[in-house]
């Protein structure tokens, strides 16, 4: 039967101490969270107005004013609060916690007597509650606030927001479900939120409501059209006939390809996997496997980005992966981490940890400037100044990160992702402690306290110190990324016996106090080629080292990157960079050629090849040194 095979690590008992990730968490706690707090309070000049905190104060009757922002503006506050909760586990901060408590007090005051909570409809259109699920995202906002409530309770032990969101969940349950009104969310997320409430409270009603929303989806593909006709008004004027956009074209267990809006899709798949494990639903789990395979084998960028078209921020068709008109929303990569973690917890299959790693090191952190003050919504694999961000069809592909967005879902999503890293690194069951990622730090688990020291992603060196809490034998299972073909592992300096199962190295023994495991492996530069069905990458190669995808910028390689060619015989070697804009990252240096043509637009003379020294930088760090060209996929001679 399908079930979760592990317990998630308690974030309050995990610490990230890692040369790569600790700096990013420090940026989040010290810079990004306070910066976003000021933005949500409209205290930062020169960026998009948020008004999100003010909306709650107005809904609570604490100040006068009108609602401002997107209909789902409440979700920005929810994700910020969730990020704050996790940050308090990373770095306790009494002043920040007090400010978050004050925000929660306002949220509680904004809640209506019947439990309903949504500032847009409370302030602006109270007569239209639950009439436009297709466009207006009441359930989406509720889901994010439920996640925030669960996180805040888990970390601080304070249940005020949890009780608020239980009341909202009860309000939703009073309206929708068997024998009540039929309804499905336009943007999936409530399902994740309800499952978070279920796991925290143990109340099966929340699990049942999440399952209801999933079970109902796609059973009547014309339902959103019927809803629109019944209400007689629109908000965004979304096309209800586009059932692929919100995955309502077929029942979820019958869906075989990742379709439509990428964030909606992976949020739904995350909830499907969670519900499948909680209920033992084999058919739903197998649908998750089928959809995952379609994404990874035919609809995912080499960086882990998903969603290849701006039209609907969506998946398109198999192998359609354009690099310069890509969408690859940061939120979609984060959502795919969520989905992979659920699948990993069910299967204990390292292929899902591989995808978590790919996303975290590439598709997620590329969404944030290295200084933590600017953010990408779209994560392209090629930008060309003068075209990207300017010409029709390319305007969404910004060549530099803005400070904020009117639709600001991605920046706070990055916050909650990076502050909750500990629960992705560690998990355990009755027989095994699992180390899923090479992210250094400590975890105080039921069976042992484990300290991990990691030189990753720059060095192939990881060690574990195990302080056992039991005399019984148990396993330490270390995930070995699929690209690592050979490795050595020792215990207390001696050769270790181990068993490989589904990408995990299982070391089983009676552990003592301070047993030390050392793992070492090479990190060669690898050349990656796309399937020949991917038109955009024909004749091209991409470079990877360890978990990192690399790219080329004009700043290092001159203008017209399209004129450069990588030579098959030329080796790229890692080097430390002195460029302050890259903050000490390892770059790759190698020889290539530049193709030089005549000055005319066309010529019968073939281009001439000139030697060129080439530099590639980690993809996540591009766009930190001013406006310039960038490419991941390079032509190969």
Looking at the annotation, which residues are catalytic? Answer: 313, 409
Q: Per the omega criterion (within 30 degrees of 0), is the bond before 457 cis? A: yes
Sheet containing 461-468: order of strands: 14-16, 441-444, 448-454, 461-468, 513-520, 488-491, 494-495
Q: Which residues contact 43 (CB under 8 A, 6 or more apart)?
A: none
Helices (H), 326-387: 330-347, 350-358
For 265, the enclosing helix (H) or strand (E) is: helix 262-279
Helices (H), 176-261: 190-201, 204-216, 223-231
Q: Which residues contact 140 (CB under 8 A, 6 or more apart)?
A: 72, 75, 185, 186, 187, 188, 189, 190
Pairing between β-strand 474-479 and β-strand 461-468 as defined by DSSP bridges: unpaired
- Report CA-CA distances (Å) from 411 to 35, 150, 329, 373, 535: 11, 20, 11, 9, 32
Cβ atoms within 10 Å, residue 400: 16
Pairing between β-strand 630-631 and β-strand 548-553 as defined by DSSP bridges: antiparallel
Cα–Cα distance, 341 to 8 (Å, whole number) = 10
Cα–Cα distance, 253 to 585 (Å, whole number) = 44
| Alpha carbon of residue 392 to chain centroid | 28
The C-alpha torsion from 18 through 21 and 24 to 30, rounded to 10°, is: -40
Residue 312 tokens read as: 């609907």
Cβ atoms within 10 Å, residue 108: 16
Q: Measured on CA atoms in the order 238, 241, 245, 248, is the torsion positive or negative? A: positive
CB 325 within 8 A of CB 394: yes
Q: Which residues contact 259 (CB under 8 A, 6 or more apart)?
A: 244, 247, 249, 265, 314, 315
* b/e code 499-534 from CB counts within 10 Å (16+ = b): eeeebbbbbeeebeeebebbbebebbbeeeebeeeb
Helices (H), 530-631: 554-557
CB 315 within 8 A of CB 324: no
The C-alpha torsion from 357 through 361 and 366 to 370, rounded to 10°, is: 150
Cα–Cα distance, 397 to 146 (Å, whole number) = 32
Q: Which residues contact 607 (CB under 8 A, 6 or more apart)?
A: 563, 595, 596, 597
Cα–Cα distance, 73 to 408 (Å, whole number) = 8
φ and ψ at residue 454, rounded to 5 degrees: -135, 135
């Amino acid at each position: 039967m399908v079930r979760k095979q592990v317990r998630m690590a308690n974030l309050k008992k995990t610490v990230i101490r890692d040369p790569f990730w600790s700096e990013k968490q420090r940026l989040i706690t010290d810079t990004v969270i306070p910066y976003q707090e000021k933005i949500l309070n409209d205290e930062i000049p020169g960026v998009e107005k948020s008004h999100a905190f003010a909306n709650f104060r107005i809904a609570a009757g604490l100040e006068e004013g009108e609602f401002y922002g997107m209909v789902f503006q409440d979700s920005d506050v929810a994700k910020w609060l969730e990020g704050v909760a996790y940050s308090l586990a990373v770095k306790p901060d009494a002043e920040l916690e007090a400010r978050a408590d004050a925000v929660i007090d306002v949220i509680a005051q904004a809640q209506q007597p019947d439990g309903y909570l949504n500032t847009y409809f409370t302030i602006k259109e109270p007569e239209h509650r639950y009439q436009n699920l297709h466009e207006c995202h009441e359930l989406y906002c509720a889901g994010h606030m439920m996640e925030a409530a669960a996180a805040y309770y888990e970390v601080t032990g304070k249940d005020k927001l949890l009780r608020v969101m239980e009341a909202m969940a009860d309000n939703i349950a009073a309206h929708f479900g068997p024998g009540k009104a039929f309804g499905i969310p336009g943007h999936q997320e409530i399902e994740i939120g309800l499952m978070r409430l279920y796991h925290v409270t143990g109340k099966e009603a929340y699990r049942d409501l999440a399952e209801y929303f999933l079970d109902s989806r796609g059973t009547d593909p014309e339902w959103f059209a019927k809803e629109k006709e019944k209400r007689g008004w629109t908000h965004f004027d979304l096309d209800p006939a586009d059932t692929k956009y919100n995955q309502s074209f077929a029942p979820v267990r019958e869906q075989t390809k990742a379709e439509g809006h990428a964030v909606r899709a992976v949020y739904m798949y995350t909830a499907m996997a969670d519900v499948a494990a909680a209920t033992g639903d084999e058919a739903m789990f197998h649908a998750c496997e089928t959809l995952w395979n379609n994404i990874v084998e035919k609809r995912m960028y080499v960086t882990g980005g998903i969603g290849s078209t701006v039209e609907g921020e969506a998946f398109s068709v198999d192998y359609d992966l354009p690099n310069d008109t890509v969408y690859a929303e940061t939120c979609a990569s984060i959502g795919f981490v969520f989905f992979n973690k659920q699948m990993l917890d069910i299967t204990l299959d390292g292929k899902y940890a591989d995808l978590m790693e790919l996303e975290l090191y590439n598709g997620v952190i590329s969404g944030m400037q290295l200084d933590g003050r600017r953010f990408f919504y779209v994560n392209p694999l090629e930008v060309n100044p003068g075209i990207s961000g300017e010409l029709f069809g390319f305007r969404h592909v910004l060549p530099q990160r803005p400070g904020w967005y009117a639709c600001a879902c991605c920046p706070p999503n990055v916050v909650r992702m990076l502050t909750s890293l500990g629960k992705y690194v560690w998990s355990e069951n009755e027989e095994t402690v699992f180390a899923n990622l090479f992210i250094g730090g400590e975890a105080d688990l039921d069976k042992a306290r484990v300290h991990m020291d990691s030189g990753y992603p720059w060095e192939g060196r990881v060690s574990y110190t195990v302080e056992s809490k039991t005399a019984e034998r148990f396993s330490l299972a270390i995930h070995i990324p699929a690209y690592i073909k050979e490795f050595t592992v020792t215990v207390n300096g001696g050769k270790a016996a181990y068993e490989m199962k589904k990408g995990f190295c299982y070391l089983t023994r009676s552990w003592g106090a301070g047993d030390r495991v050392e793992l070492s492996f090479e990190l060669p530069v690898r050349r990656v080629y796309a399937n020949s069905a991917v038109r955009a990458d024909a004749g091209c190669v991409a470079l990877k080292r360890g978990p990192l995808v690399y790219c080329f910028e004009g700043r290092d390689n001159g203008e017209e990157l399209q004129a450069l060619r990588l030579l098959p015989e030329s080796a790229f070697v890692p080097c430390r960079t002195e460029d302050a804009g890259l903050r000490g990252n390892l770059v790759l240096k190698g020889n290539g050629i530049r193709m030089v043509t005549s000055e005319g637009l066309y010529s019968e003379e073939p281009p001439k090849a000139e030697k060129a020294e080439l530099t590639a930088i980690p993809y996540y760090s591009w766009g930190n040194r001013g406006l310039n060209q960038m490419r991941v996929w390079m032509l190969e001679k």
